[in-house]
Structure 1
Amino acid sequence: MPAAEWRVPRLSTRRAAVTRAQVETVSGRALGLFGLVFGAQTLPVALEQSSALVDGAGVAMMAILYGALVVLAVASVAKVAVRRAALTFAALYAVALAAWPFLIEDPAALDGGTPWLYYICTVATAAAVVAVPASVATGYTVVVPAMYGVIRLLPAGGGAVPLLAVLDAMYAVILGVAVLIIVTMLRQAAEAVDGAQDAALQRYDVAARQHATESERVKVDALVHDSVLTTLLSAAAAESPDERALAARMARDAVKRLDEAGASGPRALERVGLPVLVRRLRAALTTFAAPFTVRVVNAGGVELPVEAVDALYSAAVQAMVNSMQHADEPGRGTRRELRIRGVRAGGCVIEIADNGVGFARHDVPVERLGLRVSIEERMANAGGGAEIESTPGHGTTVTIAWPVGAMGGDA
């Protein structure tokens, strides 16, 4: 097949694959929803058993644990600090369970019943699965139900017979392990999909560049054949003043066409959708130690040149790496955001913001290339722009845009 007829296939957008970010979102929201449901079912028992605890302890325990469940549900819906909220609930539950025997004032008031904490044990183990690595979650899933089994044997836990205590603990372990296996398998599958998407995108980029280069070569070859060689042959055969003047005009026209061909650039021919860039950035975020809140606006229907996508991706990743390396302040949490906005049908603005320590631009050493070369010059070379706003003690915002006029454009 002639090179000029070869086409790079477009990436299909008919069906969105499941990503790691989507798995985390679904897991967090399921945890938040079922946490509220289990908590509501447990409330009557908790109120009934509160009289067995030291004055005020029952109310305080319910307020802390149910409040943590509500915070977890809100965080899962808003997709903000979900892991932190899940970790907080899992830790509070373990503390409440360990403190239970010491807070029971009247074991007889339990009347041999099951402590109400048991009914939200699965919520706690699921929270650990969402919040911490699988190895740590596995330990939590085994240790916490085992703690409950021991407490169940005590008068403060209802004084159950050993077989019943073991069965209750094993039931909680089985449910927790089932949740752990399901979430872990979904995460691994999503990571494989993310890796395949990233590899496919890289292959697509390479193919698009090769196609653009080949198309440009064919165009230049045709131009050389049709204009340059014809001009040279005409100049060689020119004998009269009129023929030489004609050859000179042909030469000027050939030079002009060569200049236009060189200025057009081969890479402006291929375009990809903004969702492709969003997926690449989300995939990059999964490798970072610090979490970023991601907000995407108006991504549908926006297409960008391959060169612009590469520049935006590389500059955004560099800005995020800079934030993780330099924004943190000891003893203070740092919030980070990645905001991606499509501008009309062919532009994009990306903001990487944090509330960290910030810096003064004039204090950055000249030999540090992360801002000047990796962000500003990279975007300028691709036809875009970059703005860096930072104040010591008030965080940093890096705004990158393509094309350069999109920074102030409407979505």
Structure 2
Amino acid sequence: MTAGMPAAEERASRVVVRRRTAVTREQVETVASRALGIFGVVFGLQALPLALAQAEGLRPGAGASIIAFLYGAILAIALAALARTAVRSAALTFAALYAVSIVVWPFVVDDVAVVSSSPPWLYYLCTVATTAAVVALPLPWAAAYTVLVPAMYGVVRLLPTGGAVTPLVALLDAMYALILGAVVLIIVTMLRNAAKSVDVAQEAALQRYEHAVRLHASEIERAKVDALVHDSVLTTLLSAAAADTPEEQALAARMARDAMHRLDEAGAAQAAADDRMRLPSLVRRLRAALASFAAPFTVRVVNTGGVDLPADAGEALYAAAVQAMVNSMQHAEDPGRTVRRELRVRGIRTGGCVIEVSDNGVGFDVESVTSERLGVRVSVIERMANVGGSAVIDSTPGLGTTVTLVWPAGMEGTR
């Protein structure tokens, strides 16, 4: 942002970068959890009159206890889905309580007449239970639950306390619940696999992009070196080879000293990074990168107007920030709740910058990160150190991670 731009553009801005239309793991989990909450409430309300009626034929307190536990768990799922937190725990609780209810049902029925004309009311929540298992459990365990719980219900139907139906009717009831559960399991699994493919493709695209940037920078540097070698070093060598007289040899010596001086200047210029990058340009590049991400980041930009950085520092800040955001998308996810991510860019006076990439995901133990983890050590920490900056990673398991990039080093607390 130049000094001539309106002051309004230099004020702190807050922009949420929207994800592109794509199937992501977060979307899949959100849709599945909300669908579970909605259909759990709907099916629960449908079964409630029958549950109250059959509770009269159960042992004193048993019917009310089963209703209280299962409907309380359904309400917990609905609230967790709305709040986008602890959905897996609520779903797992309901799935476990439902399985226990099926097991204890034959032991709590005192009057079999309550199930003579209608099946046990638990049947109407069987699909809710299998869906809860799909949301809460890994695929093998969810598949096992989807098969075993309908089978358990079929066995209960054969007993007097379950209606004493014929084996065919019991089989049909169990198969109907099994098919519905299997359909949900297949759909959710397919969507999760699609989301995984999107994440893998996105990571590959980012890696290709970073590789292309490095190749482009290397090609530019090679062209500069080639020009310097041609203009100074090669000319000096040719002159020295053709020098026959003392005057020509003295000229070749002066040309050699001049070539050495130019090489030293080139090295110093590269280290000093005379090329400049304005901080608003860096922000635009970061937003462009975010547009291709599958997960949204809230972007906060403060005091970027008039801030000018060395080009090598700007490139290091960009690459390290992108790597930090990629790390967040790869490792911060906590199935069952939404992970919020932020990118904060703050200018410091006219020549400094602080970039923070944070999330409230699963976090990790920073001390346990091995030296082989190049995404943290080389792509973030060493990259910033090589240009005179610093990178600080603050993470707590279960609470999230914040990566702070600073240039130049030691400017963290400066406004």
Q: What is the TM-score when the length of structure 2 is the normalising length?
A: 0.67
1:401 and 2:404 aligned:
yes
Could you tell me how far 1:118 is from its partner in structure 2?
A: 0.8
For 1:103, the aligned partner's letter is V
Q: Deviations over 1:207-250 (max 9, x none)?
A: 111012112322444456568889999999x99xxxx99x9999
Establish whether residue 260 from structure 1 lines up as the match of residue 269 from structure 2: yes
Task: State the alpha-carbon separation in 2 of the partners of residues 298 and 398 from structure 1.
Answer: 16
Q: Which residue matches 2:344?
A: 342
CA distance in 1 between counterparts of 2:231 and 2:331 reads 51
- Equivalent residue, structure 2, for 1:328: none
CA deviation after TM superposition for structure 1 residue 313, in Å: 6.5
Q: Deviations over 1:79-110 (max 9, x none)?
A: 32322222221111101111111121222134
Of 392, 396, 399, 1:386 maps to 392
C-alpha spacing 1:408/1:183, structure 2 compared with 1 (3 Å): farther
Match of 1:297 in 2: 298
Is 1:79 aligned to residue 84 of structure 2? Answer: yes
Paired with 1:30 and 1:276, the residues of 2 have a C-alpha distance of 32
1:135 to 103, 125, 140: 140
Measured after TM superposition, the shift of residue 22 of structure 1 is: 2.3
- Once residues 390 and 197 of structure 2 are traced to their aligned partners in structure 1, the CA distance between those partners, rounded to angstroms, is 33
Residues 281 and 262 of structure 1, relative CA distance in 2, 3 Å threshold: farther
Equivalences for residues 103-114 of structure 1 within 5 A: 103-114=108-119
Displacement, 1:135? Answer: 2.0
Residues 1:273 and 2:286 aligned together: yes
Aligned equivalent of 1:40: 45
Shift, 1:299, TM fit: 7.4
1:113, distance to aligned residue in structure 2 (A): 0.8
Distance in 2, Cα, partners of 1:265 & 1:178: 62
Question: Aligned partners of 1:194 and 1:178: how far apart in 2?
Answer: 25
Task: Encode CA deviations 1:18-55: one digit per residue, 9 max, x unaligned.
Answer: 22232222222222222222222222222222212222
Point out the more displaced range, 312-321 or 102-111.
Answer: 312-321
The answer for the alignment partner of 1:213 in structure 2 is: 218
Q: CA deviation at 1:76?
A: 2.5
Pairs within 5 Å for 1:145-160: 145-160=150-165
- Unaligned runs of 5+ residues in structure 2 are 1-17, 305-312, 348-352
Q: Deviations over 1:173-220 (max 9, x none)?
A: 110111111111112222222212211211111111101211232244
CA contact (8 A) 2:80 2:86 kept: yes
Number of equivalent positions: 360
How many Å apart are 1:171 and its aligned residue? 0.6
CA distance in 1 between counterparts of 2:198 and 2:294 reads: 14
Counterpart secondary structure, 1:36: helix
- Ranked by relative contact order (alpha carbons within 8 Å, sequence separation 6 or more), the top structure is 2
Question: SS of the residue aligned with 2:165?
Answer: coil
Q: Which amino acid aligns with 2:272?
A: A
Matches of 1:28 and 1:222, distance apart in 2: 62
C-alpha contact 1:114 1:158 (8 A) present in aligned 2: yes
Alpha-carbon RMSD across the aligned residues, in angstroms, is 5.1
Amino acid at match of 2:286: G
Distance 2:400 2:384 in 1: 16
* Equivalent residue number for residue 168 of structure 1: 173
Change (3 A) 1:49 1:404: farther
Cα distance in 1 for partners of 2:290, 2:405 equals 13
CA shift, 1:144, in A, is: 0.5
Distance in 1 of aligned mates of 2:260 and 2:382: 36
The answer to which of 270-279 and 172-181 deviates more is 270-279
CA 1:195–1:57: 2 relative to 1, 3 Å: same
Code of the aligned partner of 2:157: R
- Give % identity: 48
- CA distance, structure 2, for counterparts of residue 67 and residue 119 of structure 1: 16
Partner-residue secondary structure (3-state), 2:56: helix
> Shift of the alpha carbon at 1:64?
1.3
Q: Which runs of 5+ in 1 are unaligned?
A: 1-12, 283-294, 324-334
Please say which of residues 103-112 and 336-345 is displaced more in the overlay: 336-345
One-letter amino acid of the counterpart of residue 385, structure 1: A
TM-score, with structure 1 as normaliser: 0.68
Where does residue 7 of structure 2 map in the other structure? Answer: none
Who is 2:183 aligned against? 178
Report the 3-state secondary structure (helix = DSSP H, G, I; strand = E; otherwise coil) of the residue aligned with 1:186.
Answer: helix
Counterpart AA for 2:391: G
State how far apart, in whole Å, the 2-side matches of 1:265 and 1:66 are: 68
Change (3 A) 1:380 1:35: farther
C-alpha distance in 1, partners of 2:189/2:361? 30
User: Structure 1 residues 210 and 63 mapped into 2: Cα distance closer, same or farther (>3 Å)?
Assistant: same
Distance 1:149 1:164 in 2: 9
Which whole-Å deviations, capped at 9, do the CAs of 1:242-262 have from their partners, x for residues lacking one?
xx99x9999978854653244
| Matched ranges for 1:2-17 at <5 A | 15-17=20-22
